[in-house]
Structure 1
Amino acid sequence: MWQIISAVFLGWSLGANHTANVFGTAVASRMIRFWTAAIVCAVFVLLGALLQGQAGMATYRAMAGVSLNAAFLVALCSALTITLMTYLKFPVSVSQAVVGSLVSIGLLEGNFHWEVLVKVVICWIGTPLGGMIFAIILYFLVGKFMNGLNLNLFQHDRYLRWCLMVVGGYGAYALGANNVANVTGTFTGPGMLTPFHACLIGGLSIGFGVLTYGKKVIMTVGKEIVRLDGYTAFIVILAEAITVHIYAGIGVPVSTSQAVVGGVMGIGLVKGVSTVNLKRLYQIFYAWIGTPAISFTITFLLYLMFSRLGLL
């Protein structure tokens, strides 16, 4: 089944783009070294994919039942879109790229289920809002708890580094659990991958992307929207992890990018809107809109070309 190569490519591009969502704020604030973060992220992404990644597979199967060759095209076009956005340093949504591609094929083949898309889009809107709300609440709750510990500066710094490592591992677990369906979900079904093997291949490919190309987007998330210190980095990662894990539980693959940017926006609102780099934020919003549109267009063109060549 050579078509799975495109899913591995997509998993690699997801890992490369989404490392920043889990550890970007911690690395950019210099609380954790990149390679420490990358190794922890790769391990927990695989664990999340294997232990809780199967729920999202059913959502993509229900959205558009596609053939093996069509699944190859979905993964390939999504991966090309995400690789482009990673090169441009935009933290974008793999789920948006995959859904954009699925909509394109579904329209061409006439077997798309719009009710599933509506559910997913509603969750897309709720993801950054959830990240923002959790960040604001956690900023005050955790701050009150830590102030009550009466730690000196050295103790506070050491405690915060360990907290960042723990919530980063949790965030990576949630990333694997929620996003592995984006990578190999369209390859599950009769005559294709079992859910377990889909989760295994997807988790490994995401981890490989984390380790080999994960540093590219980190500074965009960690510095270019709102400058974060160690404490606010911890809050953003925790808010993102909670938000994404909730959606993993209900089987809807959502964007960790949207969750983490929502968390950073929440910190910006707490600190004052003047601290937010609105220009960079607008660029990220445009990239979010462009991601499904680009994936849709690439898929549409390649589908027509492959059909003419008799490859579909």
Structure 2
Amino acid sequence: MNDRPPSDAGHWRTLDRDLNRISYVEYATMYVSRPLVSLGLAMAFVALAMVAAAILTGGQPGALAIILAAAFGAYLALNIGANDVANNMGPAVGANALSMTGALVIAAVCETAGALLAGADVVGTISSGIVAPEGFADSGVFVTAMLAALLSSAIWLNLATWVGAPVSTTHAVVGGVIGAGIAAAGFGAVQWGVMGKIAASWVISPLCGGIFAAAMLAFLKWRIIYREDKIAAARLWVPVLIGLMAWAFSTYLALKGLKQVVSISLGSATLIGLAIGILSWLGARPLVRRQSQGLENRNRSLKVLFRGPLILSAALMSFAHGANDVSNAVGPLAAIVQAQSSGGAGGAVVVPDWVMIIGALGISVGLLLFGPKLIRMVGDQITKLNAMRAYCVALSAAVTVIAASWLGMPVSSTHIAIGGIFGVGFFREWYVERRARRLKAARPPAEDLAVEERQRRKLVRRSHFLTIVMAWVITVPATAALSALAYLALGALLG
């Protein structure tokens, strides 16, 4: 029998194993608790919105409804930040032009600035352009309908983010307003002409975005990538593309931002954008020439020249998104505040500053807490993006929105951006198949790929494609059904 004590080495090995087990438990605890921290912070933001509404509307008639609307509006803004902003930052992150932290910071700043500086102009449409306010029996019915629209839209966006489907927040809010309007005042309260245009945009938006992005990628391959001297071709064409991007974004931002101080037509905005585009082209020429010095004549070198414009385009898209989509979060909330203040549901909607702040901060907080999941999915799980392909997507989104504004077509920026990503991916698939067919005659029959292997090498993930398309199709009817149920429940609760 051996009564000797264990050696020091054996004792320390046992202690190390025990400490490692404790470390694994700590890591597991941190991994599990991280989502709970985000959830707690989101709930704290909703609570702060309620407190702010209570303080600012204390003693006002219908204060309870306004406080409840502030909570629902904050919840919806959080989900807009979690879902919709991925369309702007996903391509830049997927192309490794931005880190996740950099993308979150830039997007949060630009979204907030866009919402506060240029967002008030589009709020009224959400509350009065889809259903006729005069179709409601009284302001109480209208307020309940807007509460139901806020809640149902937020729930649907939350579900879409959970399953990893980027959907149009505009369509979600539209569906919520329609469902509540039908439940409250019947089918006659809905502006079906507006609804018809929205349904058409389900097809128009992604097709336009995809076709333009694919055309831009084809142009890059033709004029730069497959040229013998790629760097010389890039020196010629990259400044032109930067000028085109500056024109598109300047025109869009002039339309959205300058309306706050002066009435501006699409033609005037286009001329302003053209002037800025020409100046940007002239300024980009020496900059690109300087950046291209010493670069090897390889495709990898071209990514360096596109990284800066891609980051700038992502920031501008976030500013434009904040200006446009803050109305989704605070449009119904602003309508409720006005209805409770004036006792009626009609008239132009005046947006209080505190309502805009809730929407702007909510989008940024939702992005910071829950945005990375959708950003990763959009950036690298649909198709492989590099700086040039991602730039094609960003430029496609800007130009398509401008063209749609000129033609008077309602389009979804979400559908355009995701359509652009699909367009780039499907174009690459077509191009690879075309090259394979050309080489097939020179390849021995034994080297032909099997059908299963060809499917495995597809450059667009079909599972994501089908999930996203189905989510787009059912967004309006699903939120309408949720909103109708929410209207009945809130009606019984508020009595």
Report if TM-score (shorter chain) is over 0.5: yes
Residues 162-206 of structure 1: CA distance to partner in whole angstroms, max 9, x if unpaired? Answer: 112101011112211221221112233434673363444322211
Alpha-carbon distance, 1:254 to partner: 4.7
1:28 Cα offset (Å):
2.2
Code of the aligned partner of 2:111: V
Q: 1:82 deviation in Å?
A: 0.5
Matched-pair contact (CA < 8 Å) for 2:145–2:184: no
Contact 2:213 2:424 in 1 (8 A): yes
Is it true that 1:284 corresponds to 2:468 in the alignment?
yes
Which entry has the higher C-alpha Rg, 1 or 2? 2
Distance 1:248 1:78 in 2: 25
Q: Secondary structure at the match of 1:221?
A: helix
Partner of 1:166: 312
**Residue of 313, 318, 324 corresponding to 1:178:** 324
Q: Do 1:71 and 1:186's aligned partners in 2 also have CA atoms closer than 8 Å?
A: yes
Structure-to-structure mapping, 1:206-285, within 5 angstroms: 206-244=363-401, 254-273=411-430, 274-285=458-469
Partners of 2:119 and 2:323 within 8 A in 1: yes
Q: Is residue 41 from structure 1 mapped to residue 107 from structure 2 by the alignment?
A: yes
SS in 2 for 1:23: helix
Q: Say whether residues 1:80 and 2:155 are aligned partners.
A: yes
Question: For 1:33 and 1:46, how far apart are their aligned partners in 2?
Answer: 20
Identity of aligned residues (%): 29
Question: Partner of 2:190 in structure 1?
Answer: 112
- Distance change in 2, residues 1:140/1:174 (3 Å): farther
- Residue 93 of structure 1 corresponds to which residue in structure 2? 168
- The structure-2 alpha-carbon separation of the partners of 1:245 and 1:62, relative to structure 1 and needing over 3 Å to count, comes to same
- Work out whether residues 144 and 490 of structure 2, in 8 Å CA contact, stay in contact via their aligned partners in 1: no
Alignment of 1:287-298 (within 5 A): 287-298=471-482
- The residue identity in structure 2 corresponding to 1:62 is G
- C-alpha distance in structure 2 between counterparts of 1:166 and 1:248, whole Å: 22
SS state at 1:216 partner: helix
CA deviation after TM superposition for structure 1 residue 245, in Å? 5.8
- Partners in 1 of 2:409 and 2:105 — Cα distance? 26
Could you give the per-residue CA deviations for residues 43-73 of structure 1, whole angstroms, max 9, x where no partner exists? 2112222343334323222212373332222
Question: For 2:479 and 2:315, how far apart are their aligned partners in 1?
Answer: 30
Shift in alpha-carbon separation, 1:55–1:68, aligned structure 2, 3 A:
same
Instruction: Indicate the residue corresponding to 1:149 in structure 2.
Output: 234
Unaligned runs of 5+ in 2: 1-65, 134-140, 236-291, 342-348, 431-457
Unaligned 5+ segments in structure 1 are none
Give the residue type in structure 2 aligned to 1:119: K
Distance 1:211 1:117, change over 3 A: same
Bigger CA drift: 214-223 or 57-66?
57-66
Tell me if structure 2 keeps the 8 A contact 1:95–1:254: no
> What amino acid maps onto 1:135 in structure 2?
A
Kept after mapping to 2: 8 A contact 1:92/1:255:
no
Amino acid across the alignment from 2:106:
V
User: CA 1:248/1:179 → structure 2, altered by over 3 Å: closer, same or farther?
Assistant: farther
1:129 alignment partner AA: L
* Letter paired with 1:224: Q
- 1:70 maps to what in 2? 145
Name the SS for the 1:217 alignment partner.
helix
Aligned CA distance change for structure 1 residues 131 and 195 (closer, same or farther; 3 Å): farther
The code of the aligned residue for 1:63 comes to I
Asked whether 1:53 is paired with 2:237, we answer no
Amino acid at match of 1:305: A
8 Å Cα contact 1:58-1:251 kept in structure 2? no
Return the structure number with greater relative CO, CA threshold 8 A, min gap 6.
1
Change (3 A) 1:223 1:130: same
Q: State which of 203, 206, 209 in structure 2 corresponds to 1:128.
A: 206
Q: Which moved more, 1:259-268 or 1:116-125?
A: 116-125
Deviation at 1:31, TM superposition (A): 2.2
Distance of 1:180 and 1:246 partners within structure 2: 22
Q: Deviations over 1:236-290 (max 9, x none)?
A: 1222244346667899875333112110121123212542222320111111123
Please state whether the residue corresponding to 1:91 is helix, strand or coil: coil
Contact persistence 2:86–2:375 (CA under 8 A)? yes
Q: Aligned partners of 1:79 and 1:248: how far apart in 2?
A: 27
**Structure 1 counterpart of 2:471, one-letter code:** A
Aligned to 1:195: 351
Q: Is the 8 A contact 1:93 1:255 kept in 2?
A: yes
Letter in 2 for 1:30: N
Work out the CA distance in 2 between the residues paired with 1:199 and 1:140.
42
Distance of aligned partners of 1:173 and 1:17 in 2 relative to their CA distance in 1, 3 Å threshold: same
CA distance in 2, matches of 1:195, 1:123: 28
Amino acid at match of 2:144: N
Matched, 1:12 2:113: no
Instruction: Say whether the 8 Å CA contact 1:27–1:222 is kept in structure 2.
Output: yes
Contact 2:151 2:486 in 1 (8 A): no
CA gap 1:261/1:169 in 2 versus in 1, 3 angstroms: same
Structure 2 letter corresponding to 1:71: M
Q: In structure 1, what is the Cα distance between the partners aligned to 2:470 and 2:113?
A: 33
CA contact (8 A) 1:31 1:161 kept: yes
Alignment check: 8 A CA contact 1:178 1:244 kept: no
Matched residues, number: 311
Alignment-mate amino acid for residue 194 of structure 1: V
Larger deviation, residues 232-241 vs 8-17: 232-241
